[in-house]
Structure 1
Amino acid sequence: MRKTRTSPAVDASVKRTTTALVVGVLAVVFDTTIMSVALHSLSKDLHVPVGTIQWVTTGYVLALAATVPLSAWVQRLFGGKRAWMFALTLFLLGSVLCSASWNAESLIAFRVVQGIGGGLMLPLLQTIVMQAAAGRNLGRVAAAVGLPAMLGPILGPAVGGIILNWLDWRWIFWVNVPFCVVGLFLAWRMLPRDERAVSRQKLDVTGMVLLLPALVALLLGLSNSAGSDGFGAADAWLPLALGTVLLAAFVVYALKRGDGALVDIRLLRHRSVWSGSALLFLSGLAAYGIMLLLPLYLQQLRGYDVLAAGLFLVPQGLGTLASRSLAGRLTDRLGARWVAVVGFAIVGAATVPFAFSTATTNEWLLMAVLFVRGFGLGAIVMPLMVASFQGLESADIPHSSIITRTAQQLGGSFGTAVLAVILQSGLTAYAAQGTSGIATAYDQAFWWSIGFTALAVVLALALPGRQAPSPAVQDASVQVAVSVATTDPDRPKLRPELDDVSDTTGE
């Protein structure tokens, strides 16, 4: 009689795939976090104002956003392995070119090249891993995929500070090269070969013309709204209005086009996709928009310099790292809903002390609270990623990756813009009160973030609960394992774990 297994191990082929992809994506994560501390130095060394050098980041983000919707078509055209290696090679090329930049304009242009590569890599990462997992152990798989995003905020600023303190700024981009080179080698060796018959579906040019400019306009408007005039600035509301019109036009067009559209938005009819996407957008306000407030709070109210502020935030990253594995296991065992509910609740509760803090609040207490807040953040990422793919067919996963990645990116930008406007209005209103007025302005911004988090707790109840893999998903799991076994001469033809596939449902 076969022994029933309630928590089967992650298949070795999925581990190999995840390892190869995570190493490559580390280049994107570290590049992003290192650049966050490098803009002042770049402005000084390249002799341009901060407003100009800011486009080093803005250009990258806009290029990334415009490329994400193309990832599904690129994967259909080339296959997952070739698409991933192409994107990683493009990011490597952009990194080398950035290090060779001769002025700010060339650096901005080469950052766009990086952004195109990164825009393809991020959704491909989710798609390839989730297709390989085929509905099994998604929580633990998502925990492994999310590791780079957790390590980046911890190590990136420190690495950037060391480089900028002792080396030339060009070395910032050479940090990416080892990750790219090793990532390419591992992808060549570990990723399963692409099927010979690759889809030749034509690119949806109309959808591309509508959606890509819409995302660029929306992100540009949100970025510009962080200024002193907020959403009332012409360079904020005008792109936002244009982006909204183009996005609405794409929705109408895509609904008529169906699965031939650049992004199949009909997937939003699935509870898992719409609830996960909505929460990923809201998390920009509830969880990540506050990352704008914390460094400013530490510098403007408590008088920290940039390095001290960065070190002060390390406990939050450690807390996120600490909850990663636990959140993955609990998501597999309990489902995404309750893990996300508790995660958002912890984030909200751990933000409350900052709404009551002053310039003299004990810093060790605040650092402990940041660790708890980070623990909650780690419990948000995994269930939302898992929920967004729950119950989908393999062919739908690339489109879900695009929808969720776009929602997360727009949500992060929207959250940053909204909290920046709230903070700026408070600083203006209480300017005459000096330090106490600054504290009041930050208190109000923190309370708004707490309110958005409370809304996220309620919305998280709409996430799907635990769902056993369907027979179709189980068949897909076997097919993936057999496909890898037959294309990799170093692997056994079948693994014993496959004998227990049906046991995961208790049959």
Structure 2
Amino acid sequence: MPETAQVLPDPRRWKALAFIAIAQLMVVLDATIVNIALPSAQADLGISDANRQWVITAYALAFGGLLLFGGRIADIWGRKRAFTAGLIGFAVASAIGGVAVNEAMLLGARALQGAFGALLAPAALSLLAVTFTEARERAKAFGVYGAIAGGGSAVGLILGGFLTEYLDWRWTFYVNIPFAAVAVVGAYLVVREPAGGRNARGLDIPGVVLATLGLVSLVYAFTRAESDGWTAGATIGLFVAAAVLLVAFVLVESKVRSPLLPLRVVMDRSRGGVYLALGLAIIAMFGLFLFLTYYLQVVKGYTPVQAGFAFMPMVAGMIIGSTQIGARLMTRVSPRLLMAPGFLLAALGMLILTQMATDSSYVGLVLPAQVLLGLGMGTAFMPAMSLATFGVEPRDAGVASAMVNTSQQVGGAIGTALLNTIAASAATAWATSHAAEAPTLGKVAFANQTAVHGYATAIWWAVGILVLSTIIVITLIDAGHQGGAPAVASGQDGEEEAPAIPVLAH
């Protein structure tokens, strides 16, 4: 292998991290900020109860379905270009959503946000992966990124509550514009993409079509399962279609010369384990956000702003777990020694929440559970985010990053549908078996007890899912600590040689 000159780190990389983090925060915020504003938007635009879910689903379908495509575009076109284009497009889509005058305009804006988010999110993570290659710096950078990825959803609830309560629901869209503007300026001035890391080959069109249709079918199937039931014909048909399309996608990727998703990215044992464990953990987390939001606002009577602030201990725990535990230990111990205890600690927090009742106190139950959840998820997310792109060839960094986001997006869709369905079924069964108590308790109290029983039952499932994530981590992830020296990858098939992301230390 011919020698390649050592590329010195860009002195502006820490400033670049700040702007990459702003962009990532904007994308993560948008997953929850609109949820708080949805009742107001529905009333203002006359959206029916049957169609209101599409404000969330349109975004999820476009985002989840196009992520692999967006990641590969970043590899081919250039990560900085994809990052900037994603930011501008997301801001334009947000502006359209803010001025929406009817249901169709709002839904179109949400789908457009999802499409540009699918370009922006993998570009942001892959820029981080190719910018920070020295072990200690990488740990710090991914600590910041992991804290944002984990805690951004809760921050979205707070910001959404403030904007909806004190301004107008439209500001949950407008707020993205200044975020995007600052990030675009920062990208232009300080973000630099290391030379030679692009994939110069053409785009795998059959792979794009199969992956997009397969992921859209899968996400939509879980959405339909929540609304129509798991045994409905449409639900089963969508699951079957998703399976057929995704199997065909894998077959195509194993044959084509320049695949959309090189199987080498996911066949690595540790990296594949990360994608699977992370997706399962997100299932548990998204369900929890949903139940805690309803518990605090409907059962406990919190305002949107109060409910948002009630999530702050979890956010603080995630920041501490990510930056002070994960980042400090990532270069010293193997990822599974951080991820497995992290998921178990989060499961312990979930276990506390299974004891929730209508008269439970916030300080006595919700607060300690959130602290444990935050610390556990922050500790686990940070090495997971880094390991998912660690050791990947620079030309594959975008699609490897897209796989992280895909596991999160699909996990979120599954978590919302699966756990909400479990909660609804448990609540119905409890209400039926305790119908005689309804006159004594009163209508509101009986409804609250019914709902809380459903939440607690579903959270038990979330505990089990986190334990399963732990088992997957222990079983599949065998990579050593991420403290290896940077390596250089040789070019293949006539491609330009480029500095690689460091190989895993064993």
Match of 1:15 in 2: 14
Match of 1:399 in 2: 399
Aligned partners of 2:158 and 2:307 also within 8 Å: no
Aligned partners of 2:338 and 2:379 also within 8 Å: yes
Match of 1:217 in 2: 217
1:253 aligns with 2:268: no
Match of 1:447 in 2: 460
- The correspondence of residues 335-374 of structure 1 with structure 2, limited to 5 A, is 335-366=334-365, 367-374=367-374
Aligned-pair CA distance for 1:266: 3.1
SS at match of 1:37: helix
Quick one: distance in 2 between partners of 1:285 and 1:309? 21
Match of 1:6 in 2: none
Aligned-pair CA distance for 1:386: 1.7
Quick one: distance in 2 between partners of 1:376 and 1:331? 15
Quick one: distance in 1 between partners of 2:182 and 2:320? 27
Match of 1:293 in 2: 291
1:469 aligns with 2:460: no
Query: Which sits farther off after the overlay, 112-121 or 289-298?
Result: 289-298
Given the alignment, which residue of 263, 266, 284 partners 2:264? 266
Change (3 A) 1:164 1:108: same
Aligned-pair CA distance for 1:251: 0.9
Match of 2:307 in 1: 309
Quick one: distance in 2 between partners of 1:200 and 1:400? 17
Aligned partners of 2:87 and 2:180 also within 8 Å: yes
Aligned partners of 2:23 and 2:124 also within 8 Å: no
Change (3 A) 1:271 1:12: farther
Quick one: distance in 2 between partners of 1:149 and 1:474? 29
Quick one: distance in 2 between partners of 1:351 and 1:384? 20
Change (3 A) 1:475 1:196: closer
Quick one: distance in 1 between partners of 2:142 and 2:284? 21
Query: Which sits farther off after the overlay, 291-300 or 376-385?
Result: 291-300
Change (3 A) 1:148 1:336: same
SS at match of 2:487: helix
Match of 1:277 in 2: 275
- The correspondence of residues 53-68 of structure 1 with structure 2, limited to 5 A, is 53-68=52-67
AA of the residue aligned to 1:272:
S
Aligned-pair CA distance for 1:275: 0.8
Aligned-pair CA distance for 1:196: 8.8
Aligned-pair CA distance for 1:195: 4.8
Match of 2:494 in 1: none
Change (3 A) 1:131 1:341: same
Match of 1:415 in 2: 415
Match of 1:175 in 2: 175
Query: Which sits farther off after the overlay, 16-25 or 58-67?
Result: 16-25
Change (3 A) 1:429 1:300: farther
Match of 1:155 in 2: 155
AA of the residue aligned to 1:457:
T
Change (3 A) 1:183 1:416: same
**Structure 1 unaligned spans of 5+:** 1-9, 482-500
Quick one: distance in 2 between partners of 1:197 and 1:422? 45
Aligned partners of 1:60 and 1:112 also within 8 Å: yes
AA of the residue aligned to 1:472:
A
Quick one: distance in 2 between partners of 1:193 and 1:285? 33
Change (3 A) 1:103 1:395: same
Identical columns (%) = 28
**Structure 2 unaligned spans of 5+:** 1-8, 439-445, 492-496
Quick one: distance in 2 between partners of 1:53 and 1:295? 18
Aligned partners of 2:37 and 2:160 also within 8 Å: yes
CA RMSD of aligned residues (A): 2.8
Quick one: distance in 2 between partners of 1:443 and 1:27? 31
Match of 2:90 in 1: 91
Change (3 A) 1:288 1:97: closer
Quick one: distance in 2 between partners of 1:470 and 1:322? 27
Query: Which sits farther off after the overlay, 464-473 or 267-276?
Result: 464-473
Quick one: distance in 2 between partners of 1:198 and 1:57? 34
Aligned-pair CA distance for 1:44: 0.5
Aligned-pair CA distance for 1:400: 1.6
Match of 1:376 in 2: 376
Match of 1:456 in 2: 469
- The correspondence of residues 87-236 of structure 1 with structure 2, limited to 5 A, is 87-134=86-133, 136-137=135-136, 138-192=138-192, 195=195, 200-227=200-227, 229-236=228-235
Aligned-pair CA distance for 1:23: 2.2
Quick one: distance in 1 between partners of 2:385 and 2:18? 18
Quick one: distance in 1 between partners of 2:372 and 2:236? 37
Quick one: distance in 2 between partners of 1:336 and 1:406? 21
Aligned partners of 1:63 and 1:112 also within 8 Å: yes
AA of the residue aligned to 2:464:
G
Aligned partners of 1:287 and 1:347 also within 8 Å: no
Aligned-pair CA distance for 1:274: 0.9
Quick one: distance in 2 between partners of 1:466 and 1:200? 32
SS at match of 1:53: coil
Match of 1:45 in 2: 44
Match of 1:331 in 2: 330
Aligned-pair CA distance for 1:142: 1.0
Aligned partners of 2:135 and 2:482 also within 8 Å: no
Quick one: distance in 2 between partners of 1:345 and 1:130? 27
Aligned partners of 1:284 and 1:416 also within 8 Å: no
Aligned partners of 1:53 and 1:104 also within 8 Å: no
SS at match of 2:254: helix
- TM-score, length basis structure 1: 0.85
Aligned-pair CA distance for 1:320: 1.3
Query: Which sits farther off after the overlay, 139-148 or 150-159?
Result: 150-159
Query: Which sits farther off after the overlay, 233-242 or 117-126?
Result: 233-242
Aligned-pair CA distance for 1:200: 4.8
Task: Give CA deviations for 1:2-58 in whole Å, capped at 9, x if unaligned.
Answer: xxxxxxxx9744323312212233332333332120110000011121332322221
Task: Give CA deviations for 1:49-104 in whole Å, capped at 9, x if unaligned.
Answer: 13323222211111112221112332243212112111111111112222222211
Aligned partners of 2:146 and 2:385 also within 8 Å: no
Match of 1:428 in 2: 428
Aligned partners of 1:344 and 1:457 also within 8 Å: yes
Query: Which sits farther off after the overlay, 40-49 or 146-155?
Result: 146-155
- TM-score, length basis structure 2: 0.86
AA of the residue aligned to 1:441:
G
Aligned-pair CA distance for 1:355: 1.6
Change (3 A) 1:165 1:298: closer
AA of the residue aligned to 2:470:
V
Quick one: distance in 2 between partners of 1:199 and 1:299? 49
